[in-house]
Amino acid sequence: MSISLEQLSAQMRRGEQVPLRYTIQMVLTLSIPSILQQIVVTAMEYIDAAMVGHIGASATASIGIVSSSTWLLHGMLAGLYMSFSIQVAQYLGADRQKDARGVLRQSILFNAVIGCAAALFGIGISRFLPGWLGAEQSLRADASAYFAIWSASLPFAMAMGTYSSMLRSCGDALTPGLISVLTCVLDVIFNFFLINPTREMQLFGQTVTVWGAGLGVPGAALGTALATVISGALALAILLLRDGPLCIRKPGSWRITKACLQNLWKVGAPLAAERAALSSAQVLLIRVVSALGTTAVAANSLSVSAESLCYMAGYGIQDAALALVGQAVGANRRDMAKRFAWLCTAMGVGIMALTGAGMFFFAPQLMGIFTADAAVIALGARVLRIEALAEPMFGASIVASGAMQGAGDSTGCFVLNLVSMWGIRLTLATLLAPKFGLVGVWFAMSFELTMRGVLFLIRMARGKWLEKGALA
């Protein structure tokens, strides 16, 4: 016998004891499609990196230069839109469906305004950004073009992120996963024609002429942007038109409410600050890496893409933890919130231990997917093996933070990440890079991620994160 998230929430609101098998089932039901979605998101990064990487190390480095800035901008926006999904999860857990639909409507308005503003900002700074980051002159034109095109798609990236997370809050993790698969397929198709020039190819024993725009690095950005636009529009259409607790046809107001603004400030502001703190530190790390030469920049960029294979499962489980803990807190069941938090965290640690082992043993092969440059492969494989040792505790921090955020403890997560990233990783990397190069930077990363996991486990064990709450 299976159980839906709506049925589970009803049991929690009635104060009933929920069998362990139901909690495990629900964790798996939400986690597996979310992991699929993360795989697809990671695949898109692979697609861009691999298709551009075979152009040459300079092309790869030009994307790597601005990659941390894309994380910064998107991370801050993600922090804001995650606050909406947290509110939705808690309102649904409390059986306040009308309030949940109100949050959905307000999120549409906020995303339209903030997404467009972010796009204009990104386009405006794109010309100057590579220079600010210390990029070599030869890399700046492609890096600027990539960032400008990527920025233009931000309103749709916000739409896809927001409405996918809201679907998960309703217990539907499959639809966001399928949308991500579509995004990946479209990205492959668009990149195939946009990156490469018109060329002769062998197809079923016949030589055919395949059209190509020959845009190179800007083509990779344009392909990803077009795929994001289509998928973001689709996610919004599904959420608005399908039946369910968030159906737009059901009663609800478009009025901006004081409660939503309070929750946005209480939960969204710390989340955005957390993402800004993490990503701005990454931007500074890019400056450190940029001084190490083109090979180091390329190896760093491709290694980051390869490492994402490890942590994508953790972020998939984080999505499940956020939705489940949010519903449990909304239903006023702290005991269930704890159960979901620890069950999800244990699953994240276990899975990322396995993926970390895979990364350690197959590091050269992973790097070989992206580039044929022997020097880049060798250096990338070396730093990946250093990073692999930290993956289990990284998994603990990823999933535990999702559980705490679902309970409304965004500020606690912000403080822990700020201390860990700025106090440990950035400081240690700056000290080690001059003597040990990229290896020193990644050792600092591995040590910091291990300590971050320890800090999050300590806070989760103390239980203060359950005292916060997100609803105004």
Question: What are the domain boundaries of the chain?
Answer: 5-467
pLDDT 10s digit of each residue in the chain, 472 long?
Answer: 567 777 777 778 887 887 878 878 888 888 887 777 777 766 666 666 667 766 667 777 787 778 777 877 887 788 777 888 888 888 888 888 888 888 888 888 888 898 999 999 999 999 988 888 777 888 888 889 999 999 999 998 888 888 888 888 777 878 888 888 888 888 888 888 888 777 777 777 777 777 777 787 888 889 888 998 998 888 888 877 777 777 777 777 788 888 888 887 887 788 888 877 877 787 788 788 888 888 888 888 788 878 877 788 888 888 888 888 888 888 888 888 899 899 999 999 999 999 999 999 998 988 887 777 888 889 999 999 999 999 999 999 999 998 998 888 888 888 998 899 999 999 999 999 999 999 999 999 999 999 999 999 999 999 888 876 556 5
Query: How many alpha carbons fall within 13 Å on the CB side of residue 199?
Result: 12
How high is the pLDDT of residue 49? 65
- Give the containing element (helix H, strand E) for 202: strand 197-203
Q: Of 98, 20, 13, nearest to 332 (Cα)?
A: 13
On the CB side of 168, CA atoms within 13 Å amount to 37
Euclidean distance between CA atoms 313 and 349, whole angstroms = 10
Please tell me what DSSP assigns to residue 466: G
Coil vs helix vs strand at 199? strand
Tokens of 274: 């957390």
Kindly state the tokens that stand for 448.
Answer: 């910091």
Burial 42-53 (b: 16+ CB within 10 A, else e): bbbbbbbbbbbb
CB atoms within 10 A of CB 447: 18
Beta bridge partners of 197: 213
> Closest by alpha carbon to 39, among 316, 302, 349?
316
pLDDT attached to residue 406: 85
